[in-house]
Structure 1
């Protein structure tokens, strides 16, 4: 996977900047579109909401309307180019459905990723056999999913954990996420061994929340979620909340801040990384060889 700015985050940032410029000049959507000869306001609205890949020529026209000075103009053009990245960027991402694509865009440019999962191993940590069974189970509710294409896409996404400049990745897992459940014993054991192996990487931290763990005020997340922070601090920190049929992307500062507090509470209640590896190794009957871990600057709640 490429290590470049996340297009979806750059679109959100570009849209927010353009909306701020329009409000600064006290212009309505209709007034701006009228000056540019655009047939309707939907095009500008989608750009401002980060819902479409902007055409660079359209962005240049908008910057002219708002009379943006040279220095700021150059910065926004760079952001617009990242936001407009399209087909060429996806060639390295395999066959991805829409939901996987949303996560891949965020992961590709992230400096910090924190994932919470109450019941399953996160996609970035799954073995092919485990992923195949999870996708097959999900297909009972979403029969149009191409299981093999989905598994291949996960494998492509997982390359980011091992790339030369990987993000700092933390998985916070409820203990039942690592239970065998109805999995074949060998699939489950291979998956747990894979977690132990990945946990040895300096950029990967895996921590279990025991069944009797009590986060602050006994607040437990109701759904899985993923948190992303980016190298450019001006890019909006983002939370993806996973539901059965779709994923909710949160970028508002107050929403993200609540999840950052929740991550702090979960980390305070979780087993340490070393304790987690010992628990997983016992389950998978893997001998643990203590190895020094290189500290990696973390995101919210870093020890």
Structure 2
């Protein structure tokens, strides 16, 4: 099994390691910036993974911290890997955050969705309809690029080192005919097919549950295979989303997810509901009722 590598995660790991060694050496960010003849904000952004450090920067920083030999070379190598381009780089103009880079290296994804099918499980027609409705301000070419990225991400489900996905969908996701009747029925059939994969678990949170732990919004928890790469929560919004990494934040969202999946239908019941909705959509019954 090959390890999935992501420059986004490498950059985050490198920053955490550099921060740990700076703390151990008792050196301030300002002192490092002065030695490197750069701004303190650059050092801070390197440590938080928001800026890519050059191998030369890393060597100089490690020299300040007294880190040499094999340990230093391993970190310099991570810096080289962090500067490589991910497959999604050519589409960076249509991506609003680092999510794709984190997902590319994740071992598992736990997601709660209130309105839409998760990107990893969308059909092309559903994705196009959703993007066009949510982003009426973008060009047709940008829509094409977004759909392409979304579909390419789905290789994570079937490649050798596939990702594990556990998604809890609010019943509203099944009830809103995104793209119209034919597109939505095909999307529901796609969910049934995806649920057959050994690495995909789907649950539906039915309307009759009423108030529940996830009412504050949609989120995704990403877990990574390397112990040094801490889990991260992604809370999506119209401007690209928010990444949460603090231990207490992770603990809170894991707690919420566990409560949501406990309240949801069992996977077998959930797939049966999805299949039933594909044959008897809620939106058609409402149209008959209004007629």
TM-score interval, normalised by the smaller of the two chains? 0.7 to 0.9
Return closer, same or farther for 1:78/1:219 CA change in 2, 3 Å cut-off: same
For 1:23, the equivalent position in structure 2 comes to 23
CA distance in 2, matches of 1:94, 1:124: 20
**Long gaps (5+) in structure 1:** 287-303
Alpha carbons 1:3, 1:108 under 8 Å: kept: no
Q: How does 1:236-275 map to 2 (within 5 A)?
A: 236-275=230-269
Q: Distance in 1 between matches of 2:97 and 2:3?
A: 15
Bigger mean CA offset, 203-212 vs 92-101 = 92-101
Post-superposition Cα deviations, 1:72-99, rounded to whole Å, max 9, x if no partner, equal: 334433433333323xx33x66635453
Residue 196 of structure 1 is matched in structure 2 by 192
Alpha-carbon shift at residue 33 of structure 1 (Å): 2.4
Tell me if 1:187 matches 2:187.
Answer: no
Q: Structure 1-normalised TM-score?
A: 0.84
Measured after TM superposition, the shift of residue 35 of structure 1 is 2.5
CA shift in 2, pair 1:107/1:182, >3 Å = closer
Q: CA-to-partner distance for each residue in 1:34-69, whole Å, 9 max, x for gaps?
A: 223x23223212211211111111111111111125
- CA, structure 1 residues 233+245, in 2 after alignment: closer, same or farther (shift >3 Å)? same
* Secondary structure in 1 matching 2:51: coil
Where does the alignment leave 5 or more consecutive residues of structure 2 unmatched?
A: 281-291
1:233 aligns with 2:227: yes
Distance in 2 between the 1:135 and 1:263 partners?
26
Quote the Cα distance in structure 2 between the aligned partners of 1:93 and 1:32: 30
Q: Which runs of 4+ in 1 moved over 6 A?
A: none
Greater fraction of residues in helix: 2
In structure 2, relative to structure 1, the CA distance for the partners of 1:101 and 1:33 (3 Å cut) is closer
Q: Distance in 2 between matches of 1:214 and 1:239?
A: 25
Counterpart in 2 of 1:118? 114
Residue 113 and residue 47 in structure 1: after superposition, are their counterparts in 2 closer, same or farther (change >3 A)?
Answer: same
Q: Distance in 1 between matches of 2:93 and 2:121?
A: 19
Q: Which residue of 1 aligns with 2:288?
A: none
Q: Label 1:3 to 1:195 Cα distance change in 2 as closer, same or farther (>3 A).
A: farther
Taking structure 1 as reference, are residues 271 and 247 closer, same or farther at Cα in structure 2, changes over 3 Å only? same
Q: Residue 204 of structure 2: SS of its match in structure 1?
A: strand
Find the residue that maps to 1:195 and give its secondary structure.
helix
Aligned pairs, number: 278
Shift of 1:25: 2.3
Instruction: Give CA-to-partner distance per residue, 1:148-186, whole Å, 9 cap, x none.
Output: 111111111111111111011111100011114464111
- Identify the range of structure 1 (14-23 vs 274-283) with the bigger mean alpha-carbon deviation: 14-23
Instruction: Indicate if the aligned counterparts of 1:94 and 1:156 stay in contact, CA closer than 8 A.
Output: no
| Matched-pair contact (CA < 8 Å) for 2:114–2:170 | yes
Are the counterparts in 2 of residues 96 and 150 from structure 1 also a CA contact under 8 Å?
no
Query: Do the aligned residues in 2 keep the contact of 1:173 with 1:209 (CA within 8 Å)?
Result: yes
Asked if structure 2 preserves the Cα contact closer than 8 Å seen for 1:96 and 1:153, the reply is: no
User: SS at 1:95's partner residue?
Assistant: helix
